[in-house]
Amino acid sequence: MTEKGSMEKIIDESQQGSTLTLDQDKNNNRKLYIESYGCQMNFSDSEIVASILAKEGFNTTQLLEEADLVLVNTCSIREKAETTVRKRLEKFNAVKKINPGMKVGVLGCMAERLKSKFLEEEKIVDMVVGPDAYKDLPNLIQEIDEGRNAVNVILSKDETYGDIAPVRLNSNGVTAFVSITRGCDNMCTFCVVPFTRGRERSRNPQSILDEVKDLWEKGFKEITLLGQNVDSYLWYGGGLKKDFEKASEMQKATSVNFAKLLDMVATQQPKMRIRFSTSNPQDMTLDVIQTMAQHENICNYIHLPVQSGSNRILKAMNRLHTREEYFELIDNIRKIIPDCAISQDMIAGFPTETEEDHQDTLSLMEYVKYDFGFMFAYSERPGTLAARKLEDDIPEDTKKRRLREIIDLQQKHGLYRTQQHVGKVEEVLIEGTSKKSDTHWMGRNSQNTVVVFPKENYHVGEFVNVKINECTSATLIGEAVGYSKNN
Ligand code: SAH
Ligand code: F3S
């Protein structure tokens, strides 16, 4: 169990450009190095950026030293994420001394938050591009080519990049992200996302279905539908979620919500494994859980961040549900999908959090016994309601201690959950070689738990039945007993 979950992976997202289709007319074969930080959405966005720039003649490279253009897709969610990016910019500065022609652009949430201030604060930066402005990159690059700095941080009400086929970066060829919504309207008081990613909008379902079909034809076996708040997905012909009330009767009658979208994707691609992230408890409806139960290919796993177990803190966070309503949702999930895995995000030390509030968080965890979780100390973000209205008054060592207690309890629950798999035979999709052993495969079961087993004659991308023999608090260890019927 870790403080930095999969949402916080820092991965070098570059790859050789051999899979890119280049427009030979414009092509002067420039080299693009792109690196992503933060949430899965950023990794997905970098694939859109690589696609836009492939048409401009950019090949991706893994070598920073040979890059003509360096792009860093940034995260603002906690202060530490921003510090990491700034340190990385220092490294780019050093590289620029041996590669003086190199241009540097910042993308993503820090770009949106800091805007042109970024150019003043970090001299290495030539270009600042917010998450809704990537289609303007060709013009912005022309600006910097001509020696001017370039900034576009305009947020959009309708941009979903639904018409852009992402270039899969650093892909294992098996699993892929498909974005379905952008932005977030929830305004949790601690969260910078509504400011950096703008209003919530949903992508045309047909473009989602087309992308999933294309992935299946290319050999992909699992997709994750992505959004800050997927349960809030709503398509009625375009436009903001908040304007749905003004839509025509016809638009309302033919609208597609998240449960319907899930059903459409699962029906169209009955052998594709389907996951989704993230669900906000206040927006998750029973029909989503029922749709999951109806389709074998929708994985039995829900990431259901709660942040706190205290009603008082939930209210101060503007999470629009109570502890009791959360329990009701958990009970419904367990009733409808008994073996569903559930994971959490938690924040320790939100302003005014008392010892009693913290105990409420621990007791909520006892009730749910999450399979895993991503846990953080509260980090005040400039401009958020919490930053404006509440003093960051929990001492750092108290935050750390509470976080430690949350992580330790999660570790205990993780082990309790993994132990339930021991002795069972479970379907695993092979994703690649185990990090710890060249002779073992690594894959995941439906519940998203990592499973490791000897390779024998199986291959990446195959569905295999694995007998689980042992476990740690986060990993299952077993042996293959044959192909699964899905293979
Ligand atoms: N709905 C989004 C949430 C994005 S933020 C999603 O796709 O997951 C991911 C997690 O970061 C949140 O659930 C929260 O636990 C944590 N987080 C957000 N803002 C934070 C802050 N100011 N301090 C500490 N943790 C924060
Ligand atoms: Fe942030 Fe809350 Fe949206 S955590 S992304 S404002 S659901």
- Record: fold of 175-419: pyruvate-formate lyase- activating enzyme (3.80.30)
- Confidence check: pLDDT of 296 > 50: yes
Task: Kindly give the number of the ligand 1 atom that is closest to the alpha carbon of 380.
Answer: 22
The residue-averaged pLDDT of 257-276 equals: 98
82-119 core/surface letters (b: 16 or more CB in 10 A; e: else): bebbeebbeebeebeeeeeebbbbbbbbbbbbbeeebb
Question: Could you confirm whether domain 13-152 is CATH 3.30.365.10?
Answer: no
* 193 Cβ closer than 6 Å to some ligand 1 atom: yes
Residue nearest to atom 1 of ligand 2 (CA): 191
Q: Kindly calculate the radius of gyration of the chain based on its CA atoms and give it in whole angstroms.
A: 23
pLDDT digit string (tens) for 316-360?
999 999 999 999 999 999 999 999 999 999 999 999 999 999 999
- Confidence check: pLDDT of 176 > 60: yes
Q: Residue 457 C-alpha to ligand 1 middle, in angstroms? A: 41
pTM: 0.92
Beta strand pairing call for 103-107 and 127-129:
parallel
Domain 425-483 sits in CATH at: 2.40.50.140
Beta strand pairing call for 425-433 and 440-444:
antiparallel
Extended strands (E) in 270-371: 273-277, 301-303, 341-348
Residue 28's pLDDT band (cuts 50, 70, 90): low
Task: Kindly give the number of the ligand 1 atom that is closest to the alpha carbon of 375.
Answer: 15
Task: Kindly give the number of the ligand 1 atom that is closest to the alpha carbon of 377.
Answer: 24
153-182 core/surface letters (b: 16 or more CB in 10 A; e: else): bebbeebbbbebebbbbbeeebbbbbbbbb
Q: Which residues make up the CATH 2.40.50.140 domain(s) of the chain?
A: 425-483
Q: Which residues make up the CATH 3.80.30.20 domain(s) of the chain?
A: 175-419
